[in-house]
Chain A
Amino acid sequence: MSYRPPKDLDEQARQARAKLTAHRGMATWGEKLVPIGAFRRAAAETGLALSPEQREAAVRFRTAGLDDPTPVEGPYARVAVFGGVYNNHFALLELLEDAVRRGAEAIYCLGDLGGFGPSPEKVRPLLAQGGVLAIQGNYEESLAAGREDCNCGYTDPRDNHFAEISYGYTERSCSADFKAWMGALPRRRRVRVGNRELLLVHGSPRRINEFLFQSTSPVPFLEVLLDQNRCDGILCTHSGLHWHRRLPSGRDVVNVGVIGRPANDGNTHVWYAMLEARDGGLGVELVPLPYDHLGLAAEMRTEGLPEEFVETILTGWWTTCLEILPARERAASRF
């Protein structure tokens, strides 16, 4: 049987609807009904109408390059760049060996050392041992500043629940000394590889916690970002999924992915990036990195971390933090 609204509600709604559809030839201006012509005239007289030259100048001003005092490191012929350790010291150990094997002259980390995995303090000696040059992620920023959350910006209560467990564990298990070290890390670095100057950031050049996913980082947006930052390439992490886009201008944007957890594709390995001077330009290789994921899962269980996190490590599918995925990346997801 179809629903019939109660009489009074029905009548109230009917009157409201009658009023709404009564403005044939009229326009709604705030709370008033006015002739459409009056609305259109008022709108036509409001706002700026710049000259073509002024418009051109306004667009140029918005997209112009800004000075950046960050010193340029290098030049190198070959560097390894990774992000999102998430306490995964098993993968970090594997990465350091793999990068050296592949001839990396320098190894850079784009931040987010903690969260998700076990035993934060095990990461620090490995970074020192590998001579890793790091920048700050939102995790380091939050831990160093004594924030109560990771500043990932979730709104889904389930995502927030797991983000709190993840951050709380790292916050408690991390020494004050390590946190202070994190607080002293730079927010960005500039690195020359061959003849290309690359900008290394955590989320994006604009915000430490901006997500750059492949399906929501369009070419025109990236070209302007590169113009504004006066560089030949941007390397970032934070979103957890690796991708590379060579732009029509010949410049590159690389999300190096994360080594802390798999890339939500049913595989247990993780990803990082190798950059090299090649044919007078930049060679970009996204590198799959198998590691002792069973060892990691066992230690996560010993540390009492949620079984949902362990499942991700064992299956290669994300079970939390799914809210942030755009439609395209979500459609490829199992959960």
Chain B
Amino acid sequence: MNAPQVALNSLDTLWFQVGGTVCNLACTHCFVSCSPTNHTHEVLSLAEVARYLDEAARLGVREYYFTGGEPFLNPEMEAILAAALAVGPATVLTNGLLLDPSRCARLKTLADASDYSLDFRVSLDGWDAASNDPIRGAGTFEKILAGIRNLYQAGLNPVITVTEVCEGAATDSGKERFFALLRSMGIERPRLKILPVFRIGAEAERGGAYESWQRLREGEVPDGGWDHLQCSSCRMVTDQGVWVCPILVNEPEAKMGETLADTLGAFPLEHPACWTCHAYGVSCRT
């Protein structure tokens, strides 16, 4: 069975697996199975990131996203952000545990020094400890809220990212529970992003793996093509090269090349996770 191919329309969004697969949490739904001992991908150095930023500028990349693992476990993370913010807007996806007030103040200084936006996404998987902690770990709910509060008080209003592991999160009443929680913390205009789960990595164990019918098939091209898929406008840099997207970094088959120039061609949508992006209209972008 052949999979449809997705062309790269333009390289707008460049992701960096800046924290590797190393994380200070071990969430039971993590699609890349990140944990304190997972060294599948190592953290990226400032020098490595800078090399890709140079190439990205030539290609006219519009925005940069940083994820992991936990990006702030990378000792060079703030210098990396400063380098990115010199050439474009940046967004960091974090679990919020390493966001103490002094770091948040430094991040605000970085944001103010740039012509471009610096944005944050903090992951939370429930509106209380009873719903969040079984997924993200005991005691994490309070720590995540403290990180969110520190960011907000520094003048950086983050987007709270919730996966559909949290039952009912995507319904209007579910969203309202998150909005109410954030408003109770003094956040007047809370920001929320709900993401479906990808049934790979740790989530395959927790919620079950993909079924055989959950694949995209050749000839199944929707009206308007594949423009709604993020892989039509993004690539992901890890310490081992450039991958097609942020989801498939644990699949060596999804590595496309060594430099960005190597990865400007089309990619086959053969992984079941591609089906999720299409069926749910997912974009990892904010």
Query: Could you list which residues of chain A lie within 8 angstroms of chain B, going by C-beta atoms?
Result: 2-3, 5, 9-10, 12-13, 16-17, 19-25, 27-31, 36, 39-40, 42-50, 54-56, 58-59, 62-63, 157, 206, 213-225, 322, 326-331, 335
Contact = CB atoms under 8 A, between A and B. Distances in A.
Contacts of B141: 3
Contacts of A218: 62-63, 87-89, 115-116
A315 to B, nearest CB: 16
Given A47-B255, A327-B119, A220 B133 contact: no
Contact of A48 (B189, B251, B263): B263
The 10 closest A-B pairs by CB, nearest first: A224-B60, A3-B129, A55-B261, A218-B88, A42-B252, A220-B57, A27-B40, A327-B119, A16-B28, A215-B117
A25 B39 CA distance: 7
30 contacts: A13-B134, A16-B205, A16-B206, A17-B28, A17-B137, A19-B205, A20-B33, A20-B38, A23-B37, A28-B21, A28-B201, A43-B255, A44-B241, A45-B252, A47-B241, A47-B262, A47-B263, A48-B263, A49-B257, A59-B261, A62-B10, A62-B59, A63-B58, A206-B10, A215-B89, A218-B62, A221-B88, A224-B59, A322-B189, A327-B119
Interface in B97-142: 111, 115-119, 128-130, 133-135, 137-139, 141-142
B257 to A, nearest CB: 4
Interface in B3-41: 10-12, 21, 26, 28, 30, 32-33, 35-40
A28 B117 CA distance: 34
B257 A47 contact: yes
Nearest to A22: B37
A221 B252 CA distance: 30
A5 B138 contact: yes
Interface residues of B, number: 75
B156 to A, nearest CB: 8
A22 B128 CA distance: 28
Interface in B42-76: 55-63
Q: Majority SS of interface residues in chain A?
A: helix
Contacts of A49: 257-258, 262
Contacts of A330: 157, 189
A323 to B, nearest CB: 8
B26 A21 contact: yes
Nearest to A55: B261
B222 to A, nearest CB: 17
A224 B62 CA distance: 10
A46 B251 CA distance: 10
Nearest to B175: A157
Contacts of B251: 29-30
A151 to B, nearest CB: 12
A246 to B, nearest CB: 13
Contacts of B137: 13, 17
Contacts of B26: 16-17, 20-21
B152 to A, nearest CB: 11
Contacts of B168: none
Given A20-B30, A55-B259, 11 more contacts: A5-B138, A12-B134, A19-B205, A39-B252, A43-B240, A44-B241, A49-B258, A59-B261, A214-B115, A327-B157, A328-B111
A219 B56 CA distance: 12
Contacts of A56: 261
A219 B265 CA distance: 25
B28 A24 contact: no
Contacts of A58: 261-262, 264
A223 B62 CA distance: 11
A48 B116 contact: no
B237 to A, nearest CB: 12
A62 B264 contact: yes
B157 A331 contact: yes
Contacts of A9: 134
A65 to B, nearest CB: 13
Contacts of B261: 50, 54-56, 58-59
Contacts of B253: 42, 46
B59 A63 contact: yes
B93 interface: no
Contacts of B156: 327
A39 B40 CA distance: 8
A217 B62 contact: yes
Contacts of B139: 2
B130 A44 contact: no
A102 to B, nearest CB: 29
B240 A220 contact: no
Contact of B133 (A5, A16, A55, A331): A5
B205 A40 contact: no
Contacts of B206: 16
Interface string B175-215: 10000000000001100000000001110111001000000
A5 B134 CA distance: 7
Interface string B150-182: 000001110000000000000010010000000
